[in-house]
Amino acid sequence: MVTELPPNFSQRDKPVKTPDSRSGNAVLPQTLTDLSPEELEDFALDEGQPAYRGRQLARALYVQNVATLDEVTVLPQALRERWSRHPGLAPLQVVASESTAGGSTKHLIALADGARIEAVAIPREDANFTYCLSSQVGCRMGCVFCATGRMGIIRQLSTAEIVEQVRLLSRLNPGRSKPNLVFMGMG
């Protein structure tokens, strides 16, 4: 059965679906970093703003790597406050960090729902980093030697939760402009 979408429906109105350990059908609301630069322009238009406000927001998120919308000073204060009430950014919190003799740093990260993942910053010879990112909570492989494998698969990460790992690692390693991105071998 096909239903017609309302005329004001936009890409940002679509929920991000991620499997839940209980039902497999949990729905998480989208955050701003779930949206591409083009979708941020649409978001601005949907909010009654000119498209260039979406481009300003995209630049602040993906080039300047702001941690909060309060830092997007090219936007009027009232607009920052209004957009801060939107789901905004996917908050990640570093719970613990562990460094190796080779200079790599592994971060245990808490997601907004309390789930925990790991992300690793590995230094390269060119003074930049390779960021090793998680794409899911848990793993379906079930390897007996691996704590993540023994916990089973919990859920896939949203686009924003993956993007926010890159943004977080970039803030923790300032001045590194060209990281390589790899995904951990979890299942």
pLDDT 10s digits, 119-134: 999 998 887 899 999 9
| Structural contact between residues 100 and 149, judged by C-beta atoms closer than 8 angstroms | no
This prediction's pTM = 0.76
Q: Domain segments of the chain: what residues?
A: 28-84, 93-183
H/E run at residue 165: helix 159-172
CA-nearest of 170, 136, 129 to 155 is 136
Q: What is the model's pLDDT at position 145?
A: 67
The residue ranges of the chain whose pLDDT is under 50 are 1-29, 187
pLDDT of residue 147: 63
DSSP structural state of residue 154: E
Reported as a single tens digit per residue, the pLDDT across 57-96 is 999 999 999 989 999 999 999 999 998 887 777 779 999 9
Task: Kindly report the CATH class assigned to 28-84.
Answer: mainly alpha
